[in-house]
């Protein structure tokens, strides 16, 4: 029984990890998120695309109206999802 619960825990942990997308995202898809329109992002679009296509997710430092925020981008089958987190 202990082995079964340990195996279940390992499977849940691995399923929660982000994976690279099957099809690489493009600059157009990144710009549709609006992060470069509404936020001041330090990273270039090329480096963000490289990270999201390699790891499946990326966390960016950004500013919104003089407030520091983190922007978490997740690559999913439907496209790129955005989560805004205040520091």
Q: Residues 1-14: pLDDT tens digits? A: 666 565 555 655 55
Q: CA–CA separation, 82 vs 54, rounded Å?
A: 17
Predicted local confidence at residue 18, as pLDDT: 63
Residues of the chain with pLDDT below 50 are 15
Distance between first and last Cα of the chain: 42
Predicted local confidence at residue 2, as pLDDT: 62
Q: Where are the domains of the chain?
A: 18-86
């Amino acid at each position: 029984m202990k082995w079964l619960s340990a195996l279940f825990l390992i499977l849940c942990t691995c399923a929660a990890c982000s994976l690279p997308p099957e099809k690489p995202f493009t600059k157009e898809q990144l710009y549709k998120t609006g992060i470069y329109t509404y936020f001041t992002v330090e990273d270039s679009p090329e480096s963000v695309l490289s990270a999201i296509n390699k790891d499946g997710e990326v966390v960016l430092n950004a500013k919104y109206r003089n407030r520091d925020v983190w922007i978490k981008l997740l690559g999913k089958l439907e496209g790129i999802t955005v989560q805004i987190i205040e520091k």
